[in-house]
Amino acid sequence: MELNSIKPASGAKHARRRVGRGIGSGLGKTAGRGHKGQKSRSGGYHKVGFEGGQMPLQRRLPKRGFKSTTLKYNAEITLGDLEALGADEVDMLTLKQAGLVGQLAKVVKVIKTGELTKKVMLKGVGATAGAKAAIEAVGGSVAA
C-alpha cells in the first residue's frame, strides 16, 4: 500500500447535490426551494425555536426546577455500603479508592439504610443522627 493509493471505503463518500444548474439537471430554477417566502431567500432564515412571531414553546411553558452545581461535591453512603466495605477505619480516601464515592466528592455523609454489624471508625466523614446511633450501637465511632 502506498500513500497515493489510499481511497475511502466504497459508499463512504457521497457526491454533493448540485442545484440550480439549469432545466436539464432536474434541480434548476428554484433549486428545490419552492416559490417565494423566507426559506427560499439567500441568507433569510430565523433563529432556533422561532415560530413566526407566535410565542415560542420554550417561552409558553413555565420555568421549572433547579440543579445545584455544588451537588457533584456531595456524596452519601449507606450503612450497607460500610458493611460491604469491611474496613475498620473509614475516611474519604478509603471510600474513593473503593469507588463508593466519586473522585470530586468533598463532603461525604453516612445515611441510615441497611444494617451494620461490624465496628467501624469514621474519620472526616459525617453521619446522620440515625446512622450515628447505629454505628455507636455496634461499638463504632464518628469523628467528623
Domain of 115, CATH number, reads 3.100.10.10
Examine residue 44 and state whether it is found in any structural domain, yes or no.
no
Q: pLDDT tens across 42-83, in order? A: 998 889 999 989 999 999 999 999 999 999 999 999 999 999
Residues with pLDDT less than 70, the chain: 144
Q: Which helix (H) or strand (E) holds 122?
A: strand 121-123
Please give the model's pTM, rounded to 2 decimal places.
0.55
Domain that holds residue 97: 72-143
Nearest Cα neighbor of 136 from 91, 87, 79, 96 is 79
Examine residue 2 and state whether it is found in any structural domain, yes or no.
no
Examine residue 46 and state whether it is found in any structural domain, yes or no.
no
Examine residue 105 and state whether it is found in any structural domain, yes or no.
yes
Examine residue 133 and state whether it is found in any structural domain, yes or no.
yes
Examine residue 115 and state whether it is found in any structural domain, yes or no.
yes
> Is the CB of residue 100 less than 8 Å from the CB of residue 81?
yes
Examine residue 36 and state whether it is found in any structural domain, yes or no.
no
DSSP lists the bridge partners of residue 20 as none
pLDDT at residue 73, rounded to an integer: 94
Examine residue 78 and state whether it is found in any structural domain, yes or no.
yes
Tally of domains in the chain: 1
